[in-house]
Amino acid sequence: MGAVTRAYRREWIVVILVWASALSFFHEVGPQDITRLALTESIVLDGSLRIDRWQDQTVDKAVYRGHYFSDKAPGMSFLAIPSFVVLRKAGVLREANVGPGIWKDRSDLWTLRALAGGLGFLALVVLVGRVAEGVEPGTGAITAASVGLGTLAAPLAATMFGHLVAGALGFAAFVAAWSGLGATTRRDLRFAVAGLCAGLAVLTEYQTVFIAGAVLVYIAVRTLRGAAFFVAAAVPSAVALGAYNAAAFDSPFHLSYRYVSSDFATEQAKGFFGIGVPDLGRLWKVLFDLDGLLPRSPILVLAAVGLVLLWRKGIRAEAALCGVVTLAFLALNSGYYDILGGGSPGPRFFVPALPFLGVGLACSFGRWPRLTLAVAVLSVGLMTYRSGTWFYPDEGRFLTIWSLLGAPIGAGAAFAVVLAVCAVALGAWNLFAARSVRRTPSARGA
């Protein structure tokens, strides 16, 4: 094949439309926001890892020796530190909310979310679109729009959940490794970048250790030297996590999940931090329940079929890795006691696998463009609706950042929909324009 990644026509217009549409929606503050941003504030304000003064505002917390800590991997909290510091000094964040909790103000919360989870979403959309274009020219834009707006990536974009950031980092590790294996220059640097991204992914969401392991094996079967560079570059993140654990829980090997408090402690103590043997009943719910993956994102079916086509195309090692990651996260999600992970728009633990599964869409759009486009449009519509409703069972539906800035709720939601329609339309234009060019006599003669 040609390049691992390739830019496509109108790329940044498509990416900005996708990003703006997904980031338009505002979801009210939840435990995930508080536990992560409380750690951010505690580090900046107190030079401490304890979230004692905010612990009564969130059920997501760990307790150790009478003090409270975030029960999440610390990566998202670390990521929010630069934004918090700079925006606070610039006066963008309201100082009156800093002590009680910066999440108290909707616009402040949205801004910090956009500069954390939103940036991860942006990176994921860019990478999956470029890989798709490299696999099948003409499919990059529509694949980026489909994955960004037609899957759980959309409602999670404007949140402090760590899955999108971790997924983007894990996928970046894979892309860098793939690039390294096909390169003749700077191979070691690419493998080092892969290791750095994989380490940061695990620092953000512990479960992405499965992605890091898969990428390491992918490299090691081809070059042990490359695997050594990968591991060496992942070490700083491992050291950072160990240092955080030692400072908070007196051991570099004690993860925050070990000390989860409240109602989750009993279930979290079972198996491996709440993850047991995959259960067929839970797997059915992950896939087919109303809040499952496929009823709201049927495009994932064609993405899975596309991975088979990718294998047949001769890109076998990469197709196998994407398939293994997809199956691993399905198993993880169906082995966890709570498939939705509390209040979320769907089985959020699967989200880091989305870009890997999304690679298959390049082949499906190439083989069945009209069918795949029709399913993509349906998925985007369903997930756009989900983005506007999942946090609001009774009232306040379709609240957007535009509404917070003064626009009527209906107008703000309509604008988000228009952005999504434009992104999909440009993607479809690129797709069929590329097919038209390949069919012309001059193109065939060339």
- Residue 441 has a pLDDT of 56
- Residue 1 has a pLDDT of 42
Say which residues have a Cβ less than 8 Å from residue 56's Cβ, sequence separation at least 6: none
- Residue 445 has a pLDDT of 45
Instruction: Give the angle subtended at the CA of 163 by the CAs of 201 and 42, to the nearest 5°.
Output: 80
- Residue 246 has a pLDDT of 98
| Residue 217: its H or E element | helix 209-220
The pair of three-digit structure tokens given for residue 52, joined into one six-digit string: 């004692």
Low-confidence ranges of the chain (pLDDT < 70): 1-3, 262-274, 392-396, 440-446
* Distance in angstroms (rounded) separating the CA atoms of residues 383 and 17: 15
* Distance in angstroms (rounded) separating the CA atoms of residues 307 and 359: 7
Under a CB-based contact definition with an 8 Å cutoff, are residues 302 and 357 in contact? Answer: no
Query: How far from chain centre, in Å, is Cα 231?
Result: 23
Q: Is 410 exposed, middle or buried (0-12, 13-18, 19+ CB in 10 A)?
A: exposed
| Residue 163: its H or E element | helix 163-182
Q: Which residue has the tokens 């000390």?
A: 259
- Residue 265 has a pLDDT of 57
- Residue 437 has a pLDDT of 80
- Residue 127 has a pLDDT of 98
Under a CB-based contact definition with an 8 Å cutoff, are residues 170 and 198 in contact? Answer: yes
The pair of three-digit structure tokens given for residue 386, joined into one six-digit string: 């989900």
E-strand stretches of 300-380 = none
E-strand stretches of 312-355 = none
Please give the full DSSP string across 8-44, using - where no structure is assigned. Answer: -TTHHHHHHHHHHHHHHB-----HHHHHHHHHHHIII
**Three-state SS at 382:** helix
- Residue 134 has a pLDDT of 97
The pair of three-digit structure tokens given for residue 91, joined into one six-digit string: 């006066």
Q: Is 95 exposed, middle or buried (0-12, 13-18, 19+ CB in 10 A)?
A: exposed
Instruction: Give the angle subtended at the CA of 76 by the CAs of 70 and 78, to the nearest 5°.
Output: 85
* Distance in angstroms (rounded) separating the CA atoms of residues 416 and 144: 17
Contacts by residues 424-427 (CB-CB < 8 Å, ≥ 24 positions apart): 424/142, 424/145, 424/146, 424/149, 424/376, 424/377, 424/380, 426/10, 426/13, 426/14, 426/17, 426/141, 426/145, 427/14, 427/141, 427/142, 427/143, 427/144, 427/145, 427/146
* Distance in angstroms (rounded) separating the CA atoms of residues 251 and 421: 50
Under a CB-based contact definition with an 8 Å cutoff, are residues 151 and 115 in contact? Answer: no
Under a CB-based contact definition with an 8 Å cutoff, are residues 22 and 149 in contact? Answer: yes
- Residue 436 has a pLDDT of 83
Q: β-strand 67-69 against 62-64: which pairing, if any?
A: antiparallel
Under a CB-based contact definition with an 8 Å cutoff, are residues 128 and 358 in contact? Answer: yes
The packing angle between helices 75-89 and 106-114, to 10°, is 120
Q: Which residue has the tokens 């800590």?
A: 69
**Backbone phi and psi for residue 336, each to the nearest 5 degrees, phi listed first:** -85, 145
The neighbour count for residue 88, using CB atoms within 10 Å, is 18
Query: How far from chain centre, in Å, is Cα 113?
Result: 13
| Residue 335: its H or E element | helix 316-335
**Backbone phi and psi for residue 253, each to the nearest 5 degrees, phi listed first:** -105, 5
